[in-house]
Amino acid sequence: MSDARWIEIERDFKAACEHFSGAATLFDAGGFDERGIDGYRASMAFMHAMQSGHTSLEAGLVRILDLFGEERPQGEFWHRDLLRRACMAVEARIAILPPDVCHHADETRRFRNVATRNYDNFHVGPAETAVASARILAARLSGCLRDFRTQMDLPEEDGSRGPG
């Protein structure tokens, strides 16, 4: 499918994969306990890469909701609700992400939530679970998007929505 409506969605998913992969590489490089700027750089780069990965994923999911005419989740828990919605079929579409990928996306969401509130109290140990999920997301998100698009097969001509 070369439908231009997917260009930004594909870009967001690709960015998510790159950021998650980069975060895993930064995690493997370590250096979080170094003194001074080196430890600071390692911690901040890792946390920012994880946050950027999840934020890019969310951007792609929001664009998919927009494409299908769905309202975005609202309120204090919209990040959690966005993932829940992406992981379920609704009237106009199938689930965007399969259950196992949803689990890993929720892990990175939880990490982002902790990281944004604990910049000054970062501990590498609890991040291991989120990094394992980031590795899986980096490897699987592009395929998930491709599978979703193939199964939905949106017609290009009239912009109609729904299974083909």
Q: Tell me the three-class secondary structure of the chain, residue by residue.
A: CCCHHHHHHHHHHHHHHHHHHHHHHHHHHCCCCCCCHHHHHHHHHHHHHHHHHHHHHHHHHHHHHHHCCCCCCCCCCHHHHHHHHHCCCECCECCCCCHHHHHHHHHHHHHHHHHHHCHHHCCCCCHHHHHHHHHHHHHHHHHHHHHHHHHHCCCCCCCCCCCC
What crossing angle do the helices spanning 7-29 and 127-152 adopt, rounded to 10°?
160
Residue that has been written with the tokens 């890792």 in this structure: 46
Amino acid at 46: F
- Measured from the Cβ of residue 59, the count of other Cβ atoms closer than 10 Å reads 17
Average pLDDT over every residue of 129-154? 94
Average pLDDT over residues 88-102: 96
Q: Check pLDDT > 90 for residue 3.
A: no
pLDDT score of 5: 84
Confidence of residue 153 (pLDDT cuts 50, 70, 90): confident
Measured from the Cβ of residue 120, the count of other Cβ atoms closer than 10 Å reads 6
> Which pLDDT tens digit goes with each residue over 61-79?
999 999 999 999 999 999 9
pLDDT for 156 equals 52
Instruction: Give the pLDDT score at 125.
Output: 81
* Main-chain phi, psi angles of 57, to 5 degrees: -60, -45
What is the mean pLDDT of the segment spanning 106-131?
A: 84
* Dist. CA 139–CA 85, nearest whole Å: 22
9-16 mean pLDDT: 98
Model pLDDT for residues 80-92, shown as the tens digit of each residue: 999 999 999 998 8
Local confidence band at 102 (pLDDT 50, 70, 90 cut-offs)? very high
Predicted local distance difference test score (pLDDT) of residue 163: 44
Instruction: Give the pair of three-digit tokens for residue 19.
Output: 């950021």
Fold of 4-152: Four Helix Bundle (Hemerythrin (Met), subunit A) (1.20.120)
> Which percentage of the chain shows pLDDT scores above 90?
79
Q: In the prediction, which pLDDT does 113 show? A: 79
